[in-house]
Amino acid sequence: MVAIKVSIGPDFGERNMNENPMRAAGVDFSRVPEQIATPRLILLKPELSHAAGFARGMNQASVSRNTASFPKYVPALSAEFWVFRARSNFERGIAFAYVITRQGNDQVVGVMDIFTNGDGQREIGYWIARDHWGQGYATEAGHAVIDTLVAILGITEIEAGIYEDNSGSGRVLEKLGFQHMGAAPLLFSVSRGRSDPGYRYRWTAQ
């Protein structure tokens, strides 16, 4: 089962905090938890201690090729920069990236993120390290993050996008309650070095 970051917008949110529609609406981001627990997982706000594991997980071609903005190789220093950026975006309410770890084990399994894309919409992105595919971690983490953030932030819609050849992530999104919205414009991937066909998905609060 392939489960990786499906963001097709700017990586983990690029919007200025003054442009954040939720901030303008007075949403209290301080209520967003820095840790979320599930039966098998602990999801954590990124820390520098996660950088090495982040780099190891992302430095797998089968993972990076299905992301929009990560290259084939992520140096350790770049992973540290990602942590700083993710923490800044978390605190400004632009993006809420959680590092996925297993209960009783601090090894980085992947990342689950809900961020504000270039259109000002909430979008989900995630990736799971190759060694942890096929265990349902993306679905478990996705349910936890969506359920938590929707309740706190009042989110009513979440966008997602996948590459056409990434059917595994499509199955994950469907398990999370996303609806297939049809073909997307060509989606660029830094790792692939080209734009490929893809699909759009949307989650709507019931």
For residue 66, being part of any structural domain is answered with yes
Per-residue pLDDT of the chain (206 residues; tens, 9 = 90+): 333 344 333 343 334 444 555 554 567 788 899 999 999 999 999 999 999 999 999 999 899 999 988 988 899 999 999 999 999 999 999 999 999 999 999 899 999 999 998 888 999 999 999 999 999 999 999 999 999 999 999 999 999 999 999 999 999 999 999 999 999 989 899 999 999 999 999 999 98
Is residue 161 in a domain?
Answer: no
Which residue blocks in 59-112 are alpha helix, DSSP H? 61-64, 76-92
Classify residue 112: in a domain, yes or no: yes
What is the b/e burial string over 71-81, where b = at least 16 CB atoms within 10 angstroms of the residue's CB?
A: eeebeeeebbe
Q: What is the CATH number of the domain that holds 130?
A: 3.40.630.30
| Angle in degrees, CA 168, 130, 63, rounded to 5 | 70
Inside any domain, residue 130: yes
Confirm whether 57 is domain-assigned. Answer: yes
Give the pLDDT of residue 21.
53
**Domain contains 10:** no
Number of domains the chain is built from: 1
Whole-number Å distance between alpha carbons of 85 and 97: 10
Tell me the residue range of the domain where 87 lies. 17-155
* pLDDT at 23 (0 to 100): 56
In the numeric block, which tokens belong to residue 129?
Answer: 């390290």
Domain assignment present for residue 49? The answer is yes
Specify the residue for token string 């992520």. 74
Q: Is residue 93 part of a domain?
A: yes
Determine the Cα–Cα distance for residues 1 and 135; give it in Å rounded to an integer.
8
Element holding 58 (H helix, E strand)? helix 51-58
CA 119 to chain centre: 17
